[in-house]
Structure 1
């Protein structure tokens, strides 16, 4: 007696669960990652910030209101950066020391440094507010 055995059909592997897992991983990493560009901020401190005796430093004051004060005048950040750049090029000042009031937000301070740096002022220092 001969028994015919039906040939086994190969089962195909469904790719749908695999695609779902890959899609979920892609979505997770896209939402969890930060696409913000991080950059460093170089500050002169202590003796690095000291200017030569014959050329003074420019003291710029950042107020809690977000205003910038230089030589008694309140200026917008763009106008102040341009004026400081011209004075640096002319040799009237050797460096810029930014002095912030106690309640100034860190975001405003970093934004000020960033804007002054983009304007071409590379001799920046963070100073203590004189009382």
Structure 2
């Protein structure tokens, strides 16, 4: 009779440390990422052949009816909020709908100038 212990099977590698690393990476990327605020309404930008990068810090949305939205504020409240955040060298990004009338856009540019913005960049889609 053979009373020796049967040979033991080697233990399988544990995947718990790998799962821990994956979760730590997931938490790291979630904590360091910057979530973008969704657009307040759909805007179809006008088309242009010019392709230069935008340098703006703030974004003002204007739909085809002339409704304004900035930082969660709409209408005149958006303009007063813009006046609060404007500075001497601030650049504003204007996301206006392609169907916005030129007279409404010109009036808006006057209001933005009065709010303290010397430079406004219009977002366009390439042709």
- TM-score, normalised via structure 2 length: 0.48
Greater CA radius of gyration, 1 or 2? 1
- TM-score, normalised via structure 1 length: 0.47
